[in-house]
Chains A and B, each alone.
Chain A
Amino acid sequence: MPTTTAAARATSLSKIYGSGDTRVAALDGVDVEIEAGRYTAIMGPSGSGKSTLMHCLAGLDSISEGQVWIGDTEVSTLSDKALTMLRRDSVGFVFQAFNLIPTLTALENITLPLDIAGRKPDQAWLDTVIDTVGLRDRLTHRPSELSGGQQQRVACARALASRPTIVFADEPTGNLDSRSGAEVLGFLRRSVDEFGQTIVMVTHDPGAASYADRVLFLADGKIVDEMLDPTADRVLERMKAFEQARG
């Protein structure tokens, strides 16, 4: 039975590509619990399966074995339609790039999930989010008129606008310079601290991971370690240790 403290949960989650000789397990029996109201980072070298884990947790990708829950909903059994509803109502996304619809203004992009659902945004909440990301004076701009950092902040605002159960961020700072990256990470941190938002972030940058409450280390499709209250240095050291162990 799902516990109420977990915003998302996976048990014996496997994701297998191909079969026979070409069989590759991107995820190999992962058990993970994402605690509500906390900032979780998933780290690992390329090919470790960290993005796959996130996609499976978010209901974007199908799974081969195991179970996945978001809140009290078992994701792995949902139809496409139900998954769509779930993403619309309970999940927020921030991708590495191409987060915004170029034909919509910043504000329209922020309210997009709500508009699609035909729901009225909670104006007070919306104002809070917009002010937090500091985009009040950019709302009528199109994405092409915004800097990369501004675009990612709009994406973050969109992810939060519908007050989702959980926000998934896939390398949200991967394409940003360090200052803009810090802004975005800081904003995500604040949304956890001030609004109690649950965030899962995939990253390969120890600096980014240091913003999280908890870091999960993934290697070869398995969770190999976990660190609470990380700092960039500690994360970096741990990563180096993996490299040597694998080397």
Chain B
Amino acid sequence: MLRAALRSLLQHKLRLSLTLLAVVVGVAFVAGTYIFTDSLKRSFDALFDAPQPDVSISVDTGVTAGGGGGGGGGGAPGGLDQAPTLAESLVSQVAGVDGVAAAYGLVSADGALVIGSDGKVIGENGPPARGTTFLDDPAISALTIASGRAPSGSGEVALLESTALTGGFAVGDTVKIDTASGGLVDLELVGIVTRGISGSDGSTLAVFDLPTAQKLLIGTTGRVTSIAVRADEGVTQDELATRIDKVLPEGARTQTGTQRSADIAERLATAFQFINTFLLAFAFIALFVAVFLIFNTFSMLVAQRTRELALLRAVGASRGQVRRSVLAEAAVLGLLAAGLGVVGGIVVSQGLRLLLKGFGADLPSGPLVIEMRTVVVSLVVGLVVTLVSAYLPARRAGVVPPVAAMRDEIALPVRSLRVRTAVGAVLLIVATITAWLGLRDTSDGQRAASLVGISALCALVAIIALAPMIGRGMLVVLALPFSRTTIGRLARENGRRNPRRTAATASALAIGLALMSAIGVIAASTKASVTAVIGDTIGADFVVFGVKFQPFSPDVYEAVKDTPGTRTVTYVRQVPIEVAGDRTALTGVDLEKFPDVVDLTMQSGSAVPSLGLGQAILDDKTAADLGLKVGDTVDATFVNGKSQLALRGIYTAAGPYQGWITGLPTLASIGARELDSGVYVRVADGGDVEAVRTAVESEIAAFPSVALQDQASLKEQIDSQFDRVFGFIYALLALAVIVAFIGIVNTLALSVHERRREVGLLRAVGTSRPQIRRMVVLEAVMISVFGAALGVALGVMYGSLLQKVLEPQGITQLAIPVGQIGWFLALAVVGGFVAALWPAVTASRLDVLRAIATD
């Protein structure tokens, strides 16, 4: 029987090749994901090979981590990395500990914006721009000098290779750097440094000697952010750390090199796990879509081979043998496809890298890593998916009666859709109920979202189950424009005659498009909500923000504050704050001027102008999370220590305006650095907005690390950030859509083969080749539009439901991207057309005689 299976595979190789392709694409995505993350992990391993201090000393009081890349506009957390510091005198104290070979004070902090030769900050809205001290001890320094020499003295700097490359600098050039504490400085580039791994996440690194780093980065002398220690030979890291701990003041702590590596390894593992899972989710969507395709193919092959299978049965093959022969065929196909998929995975992994690069992340490159696990998982996935999809057709093959061999016409039993419809109807009811429960659920967003998610899943399965029913009716509607012509009617009836097949083909497309349109609705709604908040909240005409939302020098405010024609010019400052484990920002505002530029809605308590020293207001969401109410006093941890804040009012969170807000004097009292995070400008009533814009722009021209934004440009910036994220997801979903289109090609190719006598007959009675092509194309476009319409309807509906559920999370506006959905439908028409080309041409070229010959 295996030989029969293999022979049949060879016979149908053209017809199976598309099925193969679909499995290959899905498996390649799985394999590619593993190869990609494994390779990435391997290239990060270089980090661990790089030298590092045996023991590092840092301070753990205060909030150590920053907010990362800018999260939006306004006074958003961002550039919050204001590192806590240690007294430099501690360095010599540590150096005196027995077993310490050398100890170095280091300063490392965000806020060294390197200005490229084009006058713009390198890596504009990307990850942070760091400055650091060069650790001149090759045994423990992660940085090595690639060319030139180490910086020494206040006029010198070294740059990370990728930074220098992007900026277009070579050793000897003068580099402009806008520093957090030293302002804009001109430095001579004396060296290029490299660190363990190639590539870059877009962050930049400027390297100074210690006094320069102290001056430019933290604005103090006699302080360092960490101390690096090299151990004497024969002293273990743990032992040394224990000894050093004894001389350390409270708040400072040691970390051995081994611990540090382990920490990094753990963090990377978590990150990679996330990336892996995220990408695999899309791979499995593509595979799920492929299931429909495989199912269709095997169903059709079994149907076409009814007589052959019956003959096998007639000569004594058992049901099981016939069934197994079909499954064996599927298994060989699955294994073959999975094998090719592993190879394809290499291509996909490179594609993922390029895709991520296109969306702004230049990842370190390294050798391709193909683990045994990748191969095994891919083969298993390919095999299982194919076998599962082929199981039902195989079972059907088993029940072909031997007598079918004697029948002339292959009459396929027309199975009733009743059971299927009933299942679909029940699921639809379940979907409705869960959606209703989700919408009514007010306990917390999580549960409501889960309920809507379950509902969406039920609805999807229901739609797949009901698709044959819906399709029969829908194709009649879709064919209306063509049903006056015989060709149009033939195309329509071809689509309707096998509702299951059409439904499976269309459902495959529906899945991808449902996800795409649901995401489209959420994306549009999120954008609309954020821009609405900005419109409602920001009263200022212009806001000056730091590039990368880095804090900037108060000189900017000084330069702008007296611009003629303004009504209010004010600044805000931010420091990181930790309250009950919740890390957010404390924004200091001018009590009188701030309400004139930012309009916060108070829910309870007092508003900004009445805030005294040590008093603050908080947004409703954070307050609810922390269980705080007006009148409460909380212990807050800052970079430079702890303090108490009295909660005097609660305001409605408005997009970027979240977290604690207090008066500038409170901020000064906790020792915040004198750096601004935003300068707000409101034009005098009836004033000339454009004149003010020009004036402010010319004033801030001297500060390359800040930019003037108005509401329109802020919206644009936010839009482009969302577009990036959603664009990435679309790109990943595109694969599932491509598989679905391969499915359309496949179904049509098989249908044309199945109906070749009909086509021959049509040709014999005078149907022209273009008419045959039109018939096939119309059928394809109808199937594709049917699938797209199902998907879009489902997607828009669940996108809207999700928006309702996410309303408390700030997605308050429902926006349906009509244009985008129009594009999806247009894509379906074009895709259906393209998918039909090959089958249509094949059909039109069918040899009339051969097609009508009774074999």
Contact = CB atoms under 8 A, between A and B. Distances in A.
B475 to A, nearest CB: 12
Contacts of B496: 103
B767 A101 contact: no
Contact of B497 (A89, A103, A112, A158): A103
Contacts of B485: 115, 118
B451 interface: no
Contacts of A113: 765-766
Contact of B487 (A97, A100, A116, A175): A116
B416 interface: no
B457 interface: no
Interface stretch (A80-88, A202-210, A238-246): A80-88
Contacts of B763: 84
Interface string A72-101: 000000001100110111010101111111
Contact of A95 (B486, B494, B852): B852
B764 A104 contact: no
Nearest to A112: B765
Contact of B766 (A85, A101, A108): A85
A102 interface: yes
Interface string B827-853: 000000000000000000000110010
Contacts of B848: 60
A11 to B, nearest CB: 22
A121 to B, nearest CB: 12
Interface residues of A, number: 31
B766 A87 contact: yes
Contacts of B767: 84, 88, 116
B253 to A, nearest CB: 79
A100 to B, nearest CB: 8
A175 to B, nearest CB: 7
A187 B489 CA distance: 30
A224 interface: no
B408 interface: yes
Contacts of A108: 486, 489
- Of B408, B487, B766, B769, the most chain A CB neighbours within 10 A belong to B766
B493 A103 contact: yes
A115 B486 contact: yes
Interface residues of B, number: 26
Interface string A59-77: 0110000000000000000
Contacts of B408: 97, 175
Contact of B852 (A81, A85, A98, A112): A98
B854 A98 contact: yes
Contacts of B494: 103
B486 A98 contact: no
A81 B768 contact: yes
Contact of A60 (B486, B490, B764): B764
A97 B758 contact: no
Interface string B475-503: 00000000001110110011011000000
Contact of B758 (A55, A85, A102, A116): A102
A146 interface: no
Contacts of A228: none
A100 B854 CA distance: 14
B762 interface: yes
A102 B768 CA distance: 19
A117 to B, nearest CB: 6
A87 B765 contact: yes
B493 A104 contact: yes
B771 interface: yes
Contacts of A115: 485-486
Given A95-B761, A104-B490, A117 B766 contact: yes
A84 B761 contact: no
A109 B849 CA distance: 20
Contacts of B758: 98, 101-102
Nearest to A118: B485
Contact of A55 (B761, B765, B849, B854): B849
Contacts of A158: 765
B319 interface: no
Contacts of A80: 769
B715 interface: no
B773 interface: no
B408 to A, nearest CB: 7
A163 to B, nearest CB: 13
A148 to B, nearest CB: 10
B490 A88 contact: no
A100 B761 CA distance: 8
Interface in A149-193: 158, 175
6 contacts: A60-B764, A84-B768, A88-B766, A88-B768, A89-B766, A93-B765
The 7 closest A-B pairs by CB, nearest first: A88-B766, A103-B493, A115-B486, A87-B766, A84-B768, A113-B765, A113-B766
Given A60-B849, A88-B768, 4 more contacts: A88-B765, A89-B766, A98-B758, A116-B762
Interface of B: 408, 485-487, 489-490, 493-494, 496-497, 757-758, 761-769, 771, 848-849, 852, 854
